Amino acid sequence: MDQALGPRKKIGLVAHDRKKADLIEWVTYNRQILTRHDLVATGTTGTLLEEALGVGIHKLQSGPLGGDQQLGALIADGEIDFLVFFWDPLEQQPHDTDVKALLRIAVVWNIPVACDRASADFMISSPLMEGTYQRQLPDYHSYIERYVTPP
């Protein structure tokens, strides 16, 4: 099963505290591209990005207060097409299980995920960002047969 993504993407933006400045700098540099898309961010990050871009961003809860899970739910509902998550691999997060769950759900639902600036630069400069794309969705029937149905 596929899902057609149009030229206007729904982009999730998240950054841990030590990575917020990097994300703000990246978003500011890519302002012209990003403002042609719909932007969703976790709480504090969203407020900072709104100020930097001067455009409205759909803000969820702060990550530790459930924002990561809200973003994961939007991914599962097909409401996020691309995730930019500048996470800090060197700092233990109190909500580390939520962080891992968000990254896991993004991979399960086959959306592009950029976890650092280099990956984000490569992905946002891809012609697929401005064009259409047929994204493959998980095959529910195979999953049920493999993991749910008793042998």
Segments making up each domain of the chain, as ranges = 2-148
Catalytic residue among 68, 81, 88, 116: 68
**Residues with Cβ within 8 Å of residue 11, at least 6 apart in sequence:** 34, 37, 38, 39, 40, 80, 81, 82, 83, 84
Q: What is the pLDDT of residue 59?
A: 96
How far is 60 from 38, CA to CA, in rounded Å? 14
Question: Is there a catalytic annotation at residue 38?
Answer: no
Fold annotation for 2-148: Rossmann fold (3.40.50)
Amino acid making up residue 42: T
Sequential pLDDT tens for the chain (151 residues): 788 888 899 999 999 889 999 999 999 999 999 999 999 999 999 999 999 999 999 999 988 888 989 999 999 999 999 999 998 877 776 667 778 899 999 999 999 999 999 999 999 999 999 999 888 888 766 666 666 666 6
